[in-house]
Chains A and B, each alone.
Chain A
Amino acid sequence: MLVLIVGCGRVGSSVARAMLREGHTVSCLDEDPESHTRLEVGLERSWEDLGGQFTVGAGLETEALEAAGIAEADVFIASTDGDNTNIVIAQIAQRRYEVPTVIARVLDPLRAEWYQRQGLHTVCPTRVAIDMLESAVRDSAGRGEASDDTAATV
């Protein structure tokens, strides 16, 4: 399976390494040549030696996307640091290249939700953080002095 990851920051590079370890073919695209170094953090051999592919270019550049193998990709992950870029390139992958699985990282919860309803698979780290924080607070409230009774009177 060919996994194409656009945006090789902390999230993108971690997913890239994990997918490579699981035996998939992984291709990364990033504007910043330095992000290649981040990809190799914790690896005993170079990214290319391990079978990975790395292309320097912007996600909106058709040539860069094609050089990174978008036409053959089975999975496309948009994980740059910009919501708007991620939403646009994910739709390009979906509509122009008909990649079977397309996932976009979207930090803005409102838009993540709306685009999800429009048929774009979005992952919203902000939503995850909100949910975890809320449940952590509820858990501690449940364990502490506040009982269900006092909560109800508040």
Chain B
Amino acid sequence: MYIIIVGAGKVGWNLARELLDKEHEVTLIESDRRRYLTVEQELEHAVTYGDASELWVLERAGIQRADMVIAVTGDDEDNMLICQVAKEKYLVDQIIARVNNPRNRRHFDLLGIKPSVSATDLILRLLEHEVPEYGLVHLLDLQEEQLEIIEMLLGKDSGVTGRRVGDLQMPEGSLLISVLRAGKGFVPTADTVLEEGDEILAVLDPGKEDDLKVLFGPEGNGSNGDG
């Protein structure tokens, strides 16, 4: 696969190194002369000097035949436009953009730049995972499919411990997909009885998190409020 990476900072340099190890063809583009010279000592001809915002720099790097363009500069506008041009002008199949400021993510979405990756968001997710009082952990967003997968730990105050899965009134648009208990995971049946300390995974339509929090939380009694 031929991959163009823009921005030879820590992320771009390491990414290039890993992809070269995996035998991909890589061109790394860096616009800072000094940084370029540093990286060039290791990567040699795999790194090229230039401002990838300029179309001729991308063309010189062979964007017409690139299978993937990854924009990981420290500037969100640059990352957005490099990916927009790659996708819409040069019809590159795969693009990946780095989001430096998570507040800019909506701009990436607006311009159709997907997927976009934000280190800050990833660390926030980890934080949610490590800090139990958040209760519900976002594992995966399937944006195209309009679904998300979440994880929840059933504490001793959870209203559903000791209840059969078949008796739970799961909110419409949500499904319990597995239970992690004592280090093992299994797919629950209607007869599975939930225990304290269980971690449950559920797939749901976006926006159903709060319903699920209520159902499985201290106030919950296994019904979704109607029953």
Contact = CB atoms under 8 A, between A and B. Distances in A.
B110 interface: yes
A92 B55 contact: no
B81 A84 contact: yes
A36 B142 CA distance: 45
A108 B54 contact: yes
A110 B56 CA distance: 9
B75 interface: yes
A79 interface: no
B110 A84 contact: no
Contact of A88 (B54, B77, B85, B88): B77
B110 A95 contact: yes
A88 B99 CA distance: 14
A92 B110 contact: yes
Interface in A69-117: 82-85, 87-88, 91-92, 95-96, 108, 110-111, 114
A118 interface: yes
Contact of A96 (B54, B78, B103, B110): B110
A114 B88 CA distance: 10
A130 interface: no
User: From DSSP, what is the main secondary structure of chain B's interface residues?
Assistant: helix
A60 B53 contact: no
Interface residues of A, number: 18
Contact of B76 (A60, A108, A110): A60
Contacts of A91: 110-111
B22 interface: no
Interface size class of B (residues with CB under 8 A): 10 to 19
Nearest to A86: B77
Contact of A87 (B75, B81, B103): B81
B14 interface: no
A57 B113 CA distance: 24
A118 B54 CA distance: 17
Contacts of A108: 53-55
A88 B89 contact: no
Interface of A: 60-62, 82-85, 87-88, 91-92, 95-96, 108, 110-111, 114, 118
27 contacts: A60-B76, A60-B77, A60-B104, A61-B103, A62-B103, A62-B106, A82-B77, A83-B53, A84-B53, A84-B77, A84-B78, A84-B80, A85-B77, A87-B77, A88-B81, A88-B111, A92-B110, A95-B110, A95-B111, A108-B53, A110-B54, A111-B53, A111-B54, A111-B55, A111-B85, A114-B55, A118-B88
